[in-house]
Structure 1
Amino acid sequence: MSVEKIWIDVEEDINTTEEKAYLLPFIVDSSDSVVIVLPGGGYEHRADHEGAPVAQWLNEHGISAFVLHYRLSPKQQRIPLEDGKRAIRYVRAHAAEYGIDPSKIGILGFSAGGHLAAITGTVYEEQSITVAGITQSISSRPDAMILCYPVITMKHYGHEGSRLALLGSDASEEQIAGYSAEQRVTAQTPPTFIWHNTDDDVVPVQNSLQMALALEQHHVPFELHIYESGGHGQGLALEHPVMGNWTKQCMIWLQRQGW
């Protein structure tokens, strides 16, 4: 299993002291599906336990993974989103190289990484990419989303720390609405698995409930699991007697998606 960094090119006009974004690959040779993992951290850091261990869990179930080291650049909101979109396009453009079906590319995020996953999955576009001398138009739309105790809205019930780190204290109403994922859902939003805990005192469960309502209103297939206890930021939580069930339920859901 290779864990060499795959650097993702960035635009030269973005001023940032943060190192460039990169992907860490965790490839299963017999797998034709992949999930890109986005750790949380309030857009101020990336939580290690929500990165490589999650990729390894996916590998154990026969699914390849990439962990995205997205850039942390406070108050420059388009930077993480560009990294999310670029990661999807990179993996899709190089699908043949990794033995991946380009229609089986998912994205999974925790907390603020869940926000980035949700925004990436609702604000996507096509862009021309040249691979091996061939230029083709590649979509940044993931084929599935997995949102784990996600920050969803930049409005009421959102996570103030994530909003301030991403948008700053003087964000306009337009910016706040633009980065509220529940307002960006359309009928083309990919199928989604969501889980949250009712006792989460960092990112209120209303975030996931609002996302679920938006998906339902646009007739997007989704599955929602709300657990009684577990707090926030527990990652895989494999040994937890309540929320530890999420990994099993998520894998069943992925299998139903054909993964």
Structure 2
Amino acid sequence: MKRTFIILAALAFSCQYAMAQESIPLYPAGQIPFAKENTEVPKITVYVPEKKRSNIAVIVCSGGSYGGRANNVEGIPACRQLNDAGITAFLLDYRVPNASRMNEKEIVPLTDVQAAIIYVRSHAKQYKIKPDKVGIMGFSAGGHLVTTAETHFNKTRLDNPGHINLRPDFVVAVYPVVSFADSLTHLQSRSNLIGPDITPERIREYSNELQVSDETPPTFIVSAIDDDVVKVGNSLYLEAALRQHHVPVKMFLYAKGGHGFGVNNKTATAQWTAPCIRWIMNEKWESDL
């Protein structure tokens, strides 16, 4: 009898959690920008907390070298951690660049992030969030994507008749690819986004440490010093650029952990998620709490 009760309780919890999620196509049918006939359909999945304690929203972008999305390791656990803190999360399945499925592939992921920002802000009342409290979080190549969104928000190819602000209010970049310079970049991510025609002009355009301005939003950066996939220098150069422009920035560095640890660095006792959520909930998004 007790075993039956436990199973039923677990099923009820699973159903309740599933009901709190809703997957929505990012664009109306037949209106996907830059799409070819066999295009991937981007979507956004809403994670609503059981106990809402904040009117802040976070759009989450998993990594995957711009060749896939590591949702099970990065995006979904991050959304759940945000939900546990009472924050509404939106997992974005942005399109990975693929010339056979889309035109102008290098701007497609950014276009999808900007469309997600428009969706969240235009539906703020529905989700009981504030349109001026919308941040984005990205891991690895997703970190490159969110740092592109924070430095290229004045550039878009989207129709935006409502003139909705495309600038995120804050950014969380976790072991991010930031630079496309030969000495720093993750070559596979760079190749997947802007290859095979990799020119100095494109390298500079997508080296986001070079695109920081006084208008770049506050940023929380996470990295491990021993990361042998995406060099920690990506994070350090971004932090330095933000400080030079007096943009609030907070850095959380691990001595060990490598790459791809997601929300749980098993080599460490103190995790980045708790101070990051405090930083988000503080709402001032200052450099030091």
* One-letter code aligned to 1:87: A
Q: 1:118 aligns with which of 147, 155, 178?
A: 147
Matched-pair contact (CA < 8 Å) for 1:195–1:246: yes
Match of 1:107 in 2: 136
- Once residues 284 and 24 of structure 2 are traced to their aligned partners in structure 1, the CA distance between those partners, rounded to angstroms, is 27
Structure 1 residue corresponding to 2:44, chosen from 15, 18, 23:
23
Change (3 A) 1:17 1:210: farther
Structure whose alpha-carbon radius of gyration is higher: 2
Matches within 5 A, 1:2-81: 2-9=20-27, 10-15=31-36, 17-28=38-49, 30=52, 31-47=54-70, 48-74=72-98, 76-81=105-110
1:207 equivalent in alignment to 2:234: yes
Identity %: 40
Deviation for aligned residue 1:241: 2.1
TM-score, length basis structure 1: 0.91
Q: Secondary structure at the match of 1:185?
A: coil
| Contact persistence 1:58–1:65 (CA under 8 A) | yes
Per-residue deviation at 1:116?
0.3
Residue of structure 2 equivalent to 1:144: 170
Deviations 1:131-167 (A, max 9, x none): xxxx621011110000000000011211001000111
**Most deviating of 2-11 and 18-27:** 2-11
The farther-off stretch of 17-26 and 31-40 is 17-26
Task: Give me the whole-angstrom Cα distance separating, in 2, the residues matched to 1:238 and 1:257.
Answer: 26
The structural deviation recorded for 1:20 is 1.6
Instruction: Please list, as runs of the form range in 1=range in 2, the aligned pairs for 1:163-182 lying within 5 A after superposition.
Output: 163-182=190-209
Q: CA deviation at 1:258?
A: 4.9
Equivalent runs, 1:191-202 vs 2, <5 Å: 191-202=218-229
8 A contact 1:148–1:196 mirrored in 2 = yes
2:16 matched residue in structure 1: none
Gaps of 5+ in 1: 130-134
| Aligned counterpart for 2:119 among listed residues 87, 90, 93 | 90
Q: Cα distance 1:198–1:13, how it changes in 2: closer, same or farther (>3 A)? A: closer
For residues 61 and 277 of structure 2, the distance between their equivalents in structure 1, rounded to whole angstroms, comes to 17
**How far off its partner does 1:4 sit?**
2.5
Structure 2 counterpart of 1:132: none
What is the aligned length? 253
CA distance in 2, matches of 1:96, 1:202: 41
Name stretches of at least 5 consecutive residues in structure 2 with no aligned partner. Answer: 1-18, 100-104
User: How far apart are the structure 1 equivalents of 2:36 and 2:187?
Assistant: 24
The structure in which a higher percent of residues are strand is 1
Question: Is this contact kept in 2: 1:18–1:73, CA < 8 A?
Answer: no
- Cα deviation, residue 248, structure 1: 1.4
* 8 Å CA contact retained: 2:209, 2:238: yes
1:183 deviates by: 1.3
